[in-house]
Chain A
Amino acid sequence: MTNGSGHPPLRSAVIGAGVISAEHLRFLQRSPAARLVGVCDLSKVLARYAADTYGAESHYTDHVQMLEQAKPDVVHVLTPPHTHCKLAADCLKHGTHVIVEKPIAPTNEEFRILSTMARWQNRALTEDHNYRFNEPILEMESLVSNGVLGEIREVDIRMALPITEKGGGFADENLPSACHHLPAGALHDLLPHLCYLALRFIPPVEQVAARWDKYSDHPLFAHDSLDAVLFGGGVHTRLRFTSHQAPDCFTVVVRGSKGWVETDLFQPYFRLTVPRRAGKQLSPLANQWVNGIAMAQSSVTGFVNKIRKNTPLEGMQTFLSRTYTALRTGAELAVTHDDMDQTTQLMDALLAEENRI
């Protein structure tokens, strides 16, 4: 049976039915490119809930059993980060394509082992870089590739999230998150977003200087702040994570020789400052007008998004859609081995002793 595009839907399965699974399962439930054949979680009741809610054909508590019985073509690994490599390897051994939540591996070395295994098995392996596929980022990439901003000179990416505050998953002392055992502690779960976004706009990184700090007295956290500067090809890049600023934000600013563009992925808006047709004298005024109107439109869009339950994870649907198209047509994946290799390399570089300030 095909879905009209000439390709039969892929048999899909999910390992891990926690909070992030909802976004993946929503895609799998709606997409004609996928047929959800199994959901697996250590908790039977959670696996059953996910299967019932999203229409999976079966549910399991043992991923090997699911791989053998449900025989999926593609598996989404959505478990805590420290389990990603082991589960992805098991899936590859069973001949399935694998989509892994970030971070795919704690280090570049471990990623490369997984990557080699995928190539050897001739199976696709990809990591969720969802924010790369949010509309404002796709628009930014388009502006850069069309030369609207000129030569890229600076990139500034900043995330502020109160991860050390009581009530958050990372701050839970009763059942500490496994992320605290990753090389960068809990920040390791968030920094891939900053890294893969930066890598979309900058040439190869030549030098890294990173300052890791801890400002809270929370016993679980090794760090709660990162301020890093990257240099390469004449481009200065700043990556900043903080848990001590409010409100929450995830801003991306790209500055070029002709103009600059700015967005916030948590409260989306788009501000583009470039030379306008009105000429050099009137361009500042035109930019203010145009951006003022765009900001007002963003406030309406933000309100509608809230009612529609659209979240900043909107890019994941695009990422998954492109990934499934690639899997079915043999085209290049939306997130390639090179993308993952560079991201894990940059994570390693941020953590390397010799790069620390």
Chain B
Amino acid sequence: MRLLVTGAAGFLGRSVVAEAIQRGHQVHAMVRPATDVSALAWHDDPAVTLVRADLRSKNGLAEAVKDADAVIHLAAAVGGDLYTQLMGTVVATENLLDAMCETGVKRLIAISSFSVYSYIDKWSHTVLKETTPIEPRLKERDDYCLTKVMQENLVREYADREGLQLTVLRPGIIYGRDNLWTACLGAQAGERWWIRIGAGAKLPLTYVENCADAIVLAAEKQEAIGQTFNIVDNRCPSHRTYIRLLRKRLSPSPRVIPVPWTLMRAICRMAWIANRMFFKGDGKLPSILVPARMHARCKPLRYSNARLRKTLGWSPRYSLRDALDRSFSVPVLREEAHQESEASA
């Protein structure tokens, strides 16, 4: 297949391109005009064509999209203010969809997020799955949630109107080298102290290479068309377990301050009441003191990847321990690996 991958130079994009090459696909890797591609392991791979474009502008997008059999849309803004995220996630997606419609490209694998779900109404320890309702109270959540919900609504709207063959994938927390901490664990107070909220709550983790595998598989399989899948690895670890495994591999090992979930929930509730009393609920508080955001980050829930396993036959390639070992290993550059194999030959 000829796959166009947007956000190819991002944390997930790098692995998706690598996975797609490994499976024998031709990849058009879309990177931003000023991206330094020399650090991308696959930048000179013959199966990869680099496409330089910024999705916030329509310029050159139709040309970039026109030959693709499928588009894997990963590009999104993960930081910045609301309007940065609106442009980088929502308007970018709109421009991509317009280019697809203009060129007649029908197959789209859109990467959404676990952040789109509504958490505050969900009972603790229940299973979060694809049928869990989408967040209705977007004003109470953060800009990332708002823009990802808008993005998902937009791709569904285009799919209905333009007859796109759409697959929506919602990865949980994607981790890997240089991305091992997550705000769902709590907060980092400098390099030496971690505040861990909750202990037994499960983390909806997916290792970046496992996630990339699921994404490329979804692009390949006809059964994925019209479906929505959560991507999480098997046997999600608890906060306590994940932090223990991380600390084992770090030197010096950070110290952990445990804060029970029930205590944090009570603090959050008090902050919410104070906000209502003194600022009519319109005060800007840190995320950790806003109930809807706190529940989305730390609520003890269970997660399922049953639909993905059953429909596409996916199973994660790397276990948690293997994934952490790979994340902490010394990276081997493609050139070095090539030299090594030549030398051994």
Count CB-based A-B contacts (< 8 Å).
44
- Out of B32, B54, B150, which one reaches A49, CB within 8 Å? B150
Give the distance in Å from the alpha carbon of A19 to the alpha carbon of B54 in the complex. Answer: 19
Give the distance in Å from the alpha carbon of A302 to the alpha carbon of B90 in the complex. Answer: 33
Q: Which of B191-199, B214-222, B282-290, B334-342 contacts A (4 or more CB under 8 A)?
A: B282-290
Give the distance in Å from the alpha carbon of A45 to the alpha carbon of B156 in the complex. Answer: 13
Give the distance in Å from the alpha carbon of A49 to the alpha carbon of B34 in the complex. Answer: 29
Answer yes or no: B132 CB below 8 A from chain A CBs. Answer: no
Residue of A nearest to B57 (CB): A175
The secondary structure that dominates the B interface is: loop
- The reply to whether A18 and B83 form a contact with Cβ atoms under 8 Å apart is yes
- The reply to whether B279 and A308 form a contact with Cβ atoms under 8 Å apart is yes
Q: Which residues of B contact A308 (CB under 8 A)?
A: 279, 282-284
Q: Which residues of B contact A306 (CB under 8 A)?
A: 284
Residues facing A in B70-105 (CB within 8 A) are: 80-83, 86, 90-91, 94
Give the distance in Å from the alpha carbon of A174 to the alpha carbon of B33 in the complex. Answer: 5
Give the distance in Å from the alpha carbon of A44 to the alpha carbon of B101 in the complex. Answer: 15
- The reply to whether A307 and B94 form a contact with Cβ atoms under 8 Å apart is no
Known interface pairs A19-B81, A308-B283; A173-B91 also in contact (CB < 8 Å): no
- The reply to whether A46 and B90 form a contact with Cβ atoms under 8 Å apart is yes
Give the distance in Å from the alpha carbon of A49 to the alpha carbon of B150 in the complex. Answer: 9
Known interface pairs A174-B33, A175-B56, A175-B57; A44-B284 also in contact (CB < 8 Å): no
- The reply to whether B284 and A43 form a contact with Cβ atoms under 8 Å apart is no
- Interface membership of chain A positions 40-65, coded 1 if the CB is closer than 8 angstroms to chain B and 0 otherwise: 00011110010000000000000000
Residues facing B in A329-347 (CB within 8 A) are: none
- The reply to whether B83 and A309 form a contact with Cβ atoms under 8 Å apart is no
- The reply to whether A44 and B94 form a contact with Cβ atoms under 8 Å apart is yes
Known interface pairs A19-B83, A49-B150, A174-B34; A309-B91 also in contact (CB < 8 Å): no
- The reply to whether B282 and A173 form a contact with Cβ atoms under 8 Å apart is no
Residue of A nearest to B52 (CB): A174
Give the distance in Å from the alpha carbon of A306 to the alpha carbon of B150 in the complex. Answer: 27
Q: List 17 A-B contacts (CB under 8 A).
A: A19-B83, A43-B91, A43-B94, A45-B90, A45-B94, A46-B91, A49-B86, A49-B150, A174-B54, A175-B54, A306-B284, A307-B283, A307-B285, A308-B279, A308-B283, A308-B284, A309-B282
Known pairs A174-B34, A307-B284 / 18 extra A-B pairs, C-beta < 8 Å: A19-B83, A22-B83, A43-B94, A45-B90, A45-B94, A46-B86, A46-B90, A46-B91, A49-B86, A49-B90, A174-B35, A175-B56, A175-B57, A307-B279, A308-B284, A309-B282, A309-B283, A309-B284
Name B residues whose Cβ lies closer than 8 Å to a Cβ of A: 32-35, 54, 56-57, 80-83, 86, 90-91, 94, 150, 154, 279, 282-285
